Chains A and B, each alone.
Chain A
Amino acid sequence: MPQFYGTELRSRLLLGTARYPSPAILAEAVRRSGTDIVTVSLRRETAGGRQRGAFFELIRELGVRVLPNTAGCHSVSEAVLTAKMAREVFSTDWIKLEVIGHHDTLQPDVFGLVEAARILTGEGFDVFPYTTDDLVVAERLLGAGCNVLMPWCAPIGSAMGPQNLPGLRAMRAEFPDVPLIVDAGIGRPSHAATVMEFGYDAVLLNTAVAGAADPAAMAAAFAAAIEAGHMAYHAGMLEPRDMAVPSTPVIGKAVFS
């Protein structure tokens, strides 16, 4: 099973907690997904506010590991401070590091990402960087102390699925021993199966599950697809051929005329 920063996990699916129709449906989706990591965020609390406490309790009751994120941070200083505040709340060194560089595409600011990663790993954080499929950036992130990489496969929430298949394959080939998680852009289980067939270690999902008509059923569908893709990678798949190859042996075929 995959290991992230020395922690062995039971599932290859990481699940976001946003946009579900209700807390009960979120809890059911987490259960059906089989995940043991959920992502959460931090936002301003209103004075006298109590609702967030209920969400915090729900997450605690799920009995899964929490991977806090720095979603929405557009600068290194914002992301670093948010990471420190998340560690205070969730008592974990894990942080999904996002430094957003573009308002429309939510493309990561990879320059700020590397800088923030260096600062945070220096302060003892286990950084899960939300990055692109750029190999040079990936190398810099590893140099900054990251031991996991989380490339997007399409813009966050777009459901477009993998847009750069050769790029994702190259990343797997270039970093065979680094845990790789596809984060963002997955829309359907076949997308998840595709990247798992490339040998990715895990997939992080949110909108594709939360936005489904039946989120809990979709969580189960993704879990099955991710497992199938992973098994297929290790089973060794055929490469496509240009010509037909009969699957039934020709030898011993009857001659009727």
Chain B
Amino acid sequence: MKLTINGEEHELPAATLAEALALLEYEGDWLATAVNGELVHRADRENHHLRDRDRIEVLSPMQGG
């Protein structure tokens, strides 16, 4: 299915958010995820089913002021 992840288009055979992250080799306990503008908690990624054209944001800590 078509997914937009951090602004980039991807075609991925991923049923859940956890599968999409694994296919793109996202890992680590420092990630935060949102789908279509809503936070998806770490514990909910495995059960969060994706739909075609979902917009996913994957954020991580960065230096800031």
Contacts and interface: CB of A to CB of B under 8 A. Distances in A.
A207 interface: yes
10 contacts: A16-B63, A17-B65, A41-B63, A42-B61, A48-B25, A55-B63, A68-B64, A71-B65, A84-B39, A85-B59
A40 B34 contact: no
B63 A89 contact: no
Interface string A151-167: 00000110000000000
B53 interface: no
Contacts of A20: 63
- Tell me the interface secondary structure of chain A in the complex: mixed
Contacts, number: 107
B1 interface: no
Contacts of A156: 65
User: How many interface residues does chain A have, given as a range?
Assistant: 35 or more
Nearest to A69: B64
Contact of B28 (A16, A53, A207): A53
Interface in A126-157: 156-157
Interface of B: 5-7, 24-26, 28, 30-34, 37-39, 41-42, 57-65
A89 B65 contact: no
B59 A77 contact: no
B7 to A, nearest CB: 7
B28 A19 contact: no
A43 B60 contact: yes
Given A45-B59, A48-B24, A56 B64 contact: no
B34 A89 contact: no
Q: Which 7 A-B pairs have the closest CB atoms?
A: A41-B64, A16-B65, A206-B65, A85-B32, A52-B60, A48-B25, A45-B60
A207 B37 contact: no
A44 B24 contact: no
Given A85-B39, A88-B42, A41 B32 contact: no
